[in-house]
Structure 1
Amino acid sequence: MFRRTFWFTAGAAAGVWATTKVNRKLKQLTPESLAAQAADKAVEAGHRLKDFALDVKAGMAQREAELGEALGLDARNDPAALEPRRLAALDHPKHSYNRNEDH
Structure 2
Amino acid sequence: MAPAEMKELASQIQELLDKGVIRPSEAILLKVSPWKGLTRFGKKGKLAPRYIGPFEVLNQVGKVAYELALPPQYQHVHNVFYVSLLKKYNPDVNHVIEYVQLEI
Structure-2-length-normalised TM-score: 0.23
Structure possessing the higher relative contact order (Cα contacts under 8 Å, 6 or more residues apart): 2
Question: Higher helix fraction: Structure 1 or Structure 2?
Answer: 1
| The structure with more strand, counted as a fraction of residues | 2
> Which protein is bigger by CA-based radius of gyration?
1
**TM-score in terms of structure 1 length:** 0.23
